[in-house]
A and B are shown apart, each in its own frame.
Chain A
Amino acid sequence: GAGVSQSPRYKVAKRGQDVALRCDPISGHVSLFWYQQALGQGPEFLTYFQNEAQLDKSGLPSDRFFAERPEGSVSTLKIQRTQQEDSAVYLCASSLGAGVDEQYFGPGTRLTVT
Chain B
Amino acid sequence: GDSVTQMEGPVTLSEEAFLTINCTYTATGYPSLFWYVQYPGEGLQLLLKATKADDKGSNKGFEATYRKETTSFHLEKGSVQVSDSAVYFCALRGGGYQKVTFGTGTKLQVIP
Binding site for B on A (CB under 8 A): 3-4, 31, 33, 35, 40-45, 48, 55-56, 59, 91, 93, 100, 102-103, 105-108
Contact = CB atoms under 8 A, between A and B. Distances in A.
Contacts of B73: none
A94 B77 CA distance: 29
B88 to A, nearest CB: 10
Interface in B42-97: 42-46, 49, 89, 91, 93
B50 to A, nearest CB: 13
Nearest to B46: A102
Contacts of B105: 40-42
Nearest to A46: B99
Interface of B: 4, 32, 36, 42-46, 49, 89, 91, 93, 98-105
A33 B46 contact: no
Interface class of chain A by DSSP: loop
Given A42-B104, A45-B100, A100 B43 contact: no
A31 B102 contact: no
A85 B13 CA distance: 34
Contacts of B93: 100
A55 B99 CA distance: 11
A44 B43 contact: no
B101 to A, nearest CB: 7
24 contacts: A4-B43, A31-B98, A33-B98, A40-B105, A41-B104, A42-B4, A42-B102, A42-B104, A42-B105, A43-B102, A45-B99, A48-B98, A55-B98, A56-B98, A91-B43, A100-B32, A100-B98, A102-B46, A102-B49, A103-B100, A105-B36, A105-B43, A105-B45, A106-B43
Contacts of A4: 43
Contacts of B103: 42
A98 B42 CA distance: 26
Contacts of B45: 105
